Chains A and B, each alone.
Chain A
Amino acid sequence: AQSVTQLDSQVPVFEEAPVELRCNYSSSVSVYLFWYVQYPNQGLQLLLKYLSGSTLVKGINGFEAEFNKSQTSFHLRKPSVHISDTAEYFCAVGRSNDYKLSFGAGTTVTVRA
């Protein structure tokens, strides 16, 4: 079985400050990893993905994430946030021998001026 833990349920941050959202997973097989964003009253939108290769992945809207296999983490970062980044962010993990994605509980980011 696999599990996904998003370590922070709420992250308040000021505009133009950096933000890091933490995600840890457990799995006995190789994984592929995603971050999704959900804006209020909308569906989930893919921010970035890691399938293989470089462990530093760049996504849309200035977000990036780093896969750390030894620490089984896939933390999401943005160096300078905007008000429009206020949303809920989900980390998702899939296993190479499975078709399902497991989602974390989500982290709500609130950006204040």
Chain B
Amino acid sequence: DSGVTQTPKHLITATGQRVTLRCSPRSGDLSVYWYQQSLDQGLQFLIQYYNGEERAKGNILERFSAQQFPDLHSELNLSSLELGDSALYFCASSSSPLSEQYFGPGTRLTVT
């Protein structure tokens, strides 16, 4: 158990819909990262927050957004969903931007 929690574990929704994935970092960790893992793209970094502020952006689509709240939990919002958005979405946390990341169990999103 990494100490990072993600909800829900599974999510099935239709194209065009909007979903929110939630992540609670390990106690004391200020940095939160979001990743997308799919068979064709592998593990892709999406976005990182540190203590509520966006610090780095990766291959995140404009239809996706994220935020980190004052209690340090983070949410990833995916809108206008397409079939190709079906993937595992991981959240990770670390105590500082340059230290090792601890991954949550992931949310499996299926878009039908």
Q: List the interface of chain A (C-beta within 8 A of B).
A: 32, 34, 36, 42-46, 49, 51, 90, 94, 96, 98-106
Which of A49, A100, A106 is close to B100, meaning CB atoms less than 8 Å apart? A49
CB-contact partner of B104 in A36, A43, A98, A105, under 8 A: A43
Interface size class of B (residues with CB under 8 A): 20 to 34
* Partner among B43, B45, B48, B105 whose Cβ is within 8 Å of the Cβ of A106: B43
22 contacts between A and B (CB under 8 A): A32-B98, A34-B101, A43-B2, A43-B104, A44-B43, A44-B90, A45-B2, A45-B103, A46-B101, A90-B43, A94-B98, A96-B98, A99-B48, A99-B50, A99-B56, A100-B56, A101-B101, A103-B43, A103-B44, A103-B45, A104-B42, A105-B42
Looking at chain B's contact residues, the main secondary structure is: strand
Contact residues, B58-112 vs A (CB, 8 A): 58, 90, 92, 97-98, 100-106
